[in-house]
Chains A and B, each alone.
Chain A
Amino acid sequence: MDKVTNILIVGVGGQGTLLASKVIGRWAMNAGYDVKVSEVHGMSQRGGSVVTYVRFGPKVFSPLIEKGQADMVLAFEKLEALRWAPYLNEDGIVIANTQEIMPMPVIIGADEYPPDIMERLNTMCKRVLAIDALDMAMQAGNSKAANIVLIGAMAKMMDGDKQSWLDVITQVVPPRTVEINQKAFLKGYETA
């Protein structure tokens, strides 16, 4: 790989996007790439729209991904997939959790949750993979493992070696959750 791979991980503050970016970052480091992972801390973590930029390749300068640069959007929530899809390049793909979390303007009736997100995503990018990560995580044993289900789907799409991902997950997640997270990973991997 001589170019930089750009992945946006997007979601709602509190959904576990930071752990997901840590897994991808470690995987890229183990694979011998230069890596930058840009996180959002502070106020947005309280239920706001959050984005983490993961970039790896022979040499990475900016920690940010610009509009038109992203190879993949890994979305923990549907509306956030729509918000960030314009960052994809012409061949970019979206992996979207089908979970819907209402933002405050929608809750108080000042705006509407778009009913046609999947249709709009399909016109915007080459491939959209929608998965019910929450349900699959619950099947694996804990709804909090939805982030690892999404990583599983992404790993398959990236054509990666399964074991190298499982190894990183073992390193990164708390020891007592390793088994559930590995199961969650495989569920995502097999869906993609």
Chain B
Amino acid sequence: MKDLLLGNEALARGAYEAGVRVATAYPGTPSTEITEAMALYPAEEVYVEWSPNEKVALEVAIGASVAGARAMASMKHVGLNVAADPLFTAAYTGVNGGLVIVTADDPGLFSSQNEQDNRLYAQAAHIPMLEPSDSQEAKDFAMMAFELSERFDLPILLRMTTRVSHARGLVEIGERKNIPLKEYKRDINKYVMMPAMAKRRHYSLVERMSRVEAYANECHLNRIEWGDRRIGIITDGIAYQYAKEAMPDASYLKLGMVYPLPAELIKEFAVGVDKLYVIEELEPFIETQVKALGIHAIGKEIFPVVDELNAEIIAKALLGRGFATPEREKLAGQHVPVRPPVMCPGCPHRGVFYVLDKLKLTVTGDIGCYTLGATAPLSAMDLCVCMGASIGSALGMEKARGKEWAHKTVAVIGDSTFIHSGITGLIDMVYNKGTGTVIILDNSTTGMTGHQDHPATGWTIRKEPTYQASLEALAKAAGVNRITVIDPYDMEHMEAVIKEETATDEPSVIIARRPCILLDKKRTYTPYTVDMDKCMGCEICMHLGCPAMENDDGAFVIDVTQCNGCGLCSNLCIFDAIKEADI
């Protein structure tokens, strides 16, 4: 039977059929659907969890593997930075049950703060990496990864990219294999990485990887497709599909295992073609290694190192033309207003950023929907680097510029992000006598990635009730004495609290608590409308940046089909011109 599956769903299917017993993740685009799909399989067969962050996710998977189960941890590319500590040493220990680590990279930055190329992690950590180029391969490679992990006693990295993760393709569905737990044997020489044991395991790692290097030349994951021998293309992942679209007749060496590379196969391919190209997204990862073999190849001389590739870029570089006629190209150059993402109508974050902008505070930000608070017209964020960075960076500003600076600075962080890695920043702020103000934007979900539960929601991934971590108690335990919970729809109260807390000389936490508007299904509301007779056109309401509001040639209108009735605009209006609609 065939099904039309996202690359992520296909990968989950592959892991399921390969007998995976433990699957962990912290959500992050483009990896999220892998673990959501895993949770659709029966709990008796697979334990699935949202972990507080990627490091914990990998550690849980490592424990499961050592205990004898096939295990998988999934994360986005920057999540692997968080999990890098256990990653490098897991290569030393090796595995018992097969261990697969999925890194979903985001070339083109569709929903990320950078576009790092995680193939480099495979090389740095000495871990084999497989890279599928469509949904069927995502499933096949996931199954293969567990086999290879156990065969070579190594964790396996499985690299997805956005266009493989989020493209649907036809996938052949099979049965789940019955893979029993492997025997557990205590072995401190293999699993306790103190210096003496770790050094021996490092030698062992070099030996294990040398066996994988030899295997790379014969495994079916890497294949030569002979075509027109005037042009030979070495490629991997989604770049293979783009290249085939642009150059269907060329000869190909398609690499399914991107680390370690098959040196002999590359040499064989290189001598079989007149001109050799390496086509890969982002870093010249394959190209550098091909050139190190003494082979002449063309790569980043003509292909970009920034942004995703596509068939047009490749066609233009190799053939000097794209798919469109020059007239069409000209049309593409016409001005069309851009449509950047925005906070939803009724979003509980909106009022917070309106107030922060009004108070002209310096705002250190974090990763989530609320990062949109940086954009016009709210324009209330100064810094956003990575998950959890808001609190530490606010403390850094204070330490650099003094307490007065802290009085006009706040850190903003989401509930899920606070649990992920904000809590350690808060502990630092208290421990090292900072006086900053932290606003936790608690919308009771992981919003941007599509509403996943986390330890402070009180629900597991399978929607079983569980212990709900308390943000107030965590802040208190860190040593924060001033903790205030506010409703972000009440801007007047919020403004007073923010003024008071930023003025104090001790750390304070403000929890702005209201569920994400897209989740709050039980809430009843009436949309708002503008009374044209009373509206003076002052435009104060327009500073909220609400997509339900329009300026129709000077007449301000609220689209009732979009309005979620939060009432922020009505509260701001000094002429009493915005009222609940008569419907």
Contacts and interface: CB of A to CB of B under 8 A. Distances in A.
Check if A and B associate: yes
Interface of A: 12-14, 21-22, 25-26, 29, 34-49, 61-64, 66-69, 79-80, 82-83, 85-90, 101-114, 120, 124, 143
A111 B340 CA distance: 13
Interface of B: 2, 4, 6, 29-30, 32-33, 110-111, 134, 163, 166-170, 238, 241-242, 244-245, 248, 310-312, 315, 322-325, 328-329, 331-332, 334, 336-344, 369, 372, 375-377, 448-450, 542, 545-547, 549-551, 561-562
9 closest A-B pairs (Cβ-Cβ)? A68-B324, A42-B111, A42-B29, A48-B341, A63-B167, A103-B339, A86-B332, A62-B245, A37-B168
A103 B341 CA distance: 9
Given A48-B342, A63-B163, A67-B322, A108 B377 contact: yes
B519 to A, nearest CB: 14
B303 to A, nearest CB: 16
12 contacts: A39-B166, A43-B111, A46-B369, A62-B244, A66-B311, A67-B328, A90-B325, A107-B546, A108-B376, A111-B337, A111-B338, A114-B336
A66 B323 contact: yes
B75 to A, nearest CB: 14
Nearest to B347: A46
Contacts of B547: 47, 101-102, 104, 107
Contacts of A114: 336-337
A149 to B, nearest CB: 16
A64 B448 contact: no
Contacts of B238: 63
A36 B323 contact: no
A25 B542 contact: no
A78 B168 CA distance: 26
Given A36-B169, A103-B340, A107-B547, 11 more contacts: A12-B339, A21-B168, A26-B4, A34-B170, A46-B342, A46-B343, A63-B167, A63-B169, A89-B328, A114-B337, A143-B561
B166 A46 contact: no
Contacts of B311: 61-62, 64, 66
A80 B30 CA distance: 24
B341 A86 contact: no
State the main secondary structure of chain B at its contact with A.
loop
A67 B329 contact: yes
A104 B549 CA distance: 10
A79 B450 contact: no
Contact of A37 (B4, B341, B375): B4
Contact of A38 (B4, B163, B339): B163
Contacts of B111: 41-44
B241 A38 contact: no
B164 to A, nearest CB: 8
A148 to B, nearest CB: 17
B19 to A, nearest CB: 28
B541 to A, nearest CB: 11
A76 to B, nearest CB: 12
Contacts of A12: 339
A83 B369 CA distance: 25
Given A90-B325, A102-B547, A107-B542, A39 B167 contact: yes
A47 B328 contact: no
Contact of A41 (B29, B241, B343, B369): B29
A164 to B, nearest CB: 15
B341 A67 contact: no
A41 to B, nearest CB: 6
A79 B323 contact: no
Given A25-B4, A29-B2, A66-B311, A49 B339 contact: yes
Nearest to A120: B334
Given A43-B341, A48-B341, A68 B134 contact: no
- Output the residue of A13, A48, A101, A104 with the most chain B CB within 10 A: A104
Contacts of B166: 38-41
B226 to A, nearest CB: 17
A36 B551 contact: no
Nearest to A83: B336
Nearest to A134: B561
Nearest to B244: A61
A108 B556 CA distance: 11
B448 A110 contact: no
A107 B322 contact: no
- Output the residue of A45, A47, A69, A87 with the most chain B CB within 10 A: A47
Nearest to B111: A42
B341 A47 contact: yes
A43 B29 contact: yes
A18 B549 CA distance: 25
A107 B551 contact: yes
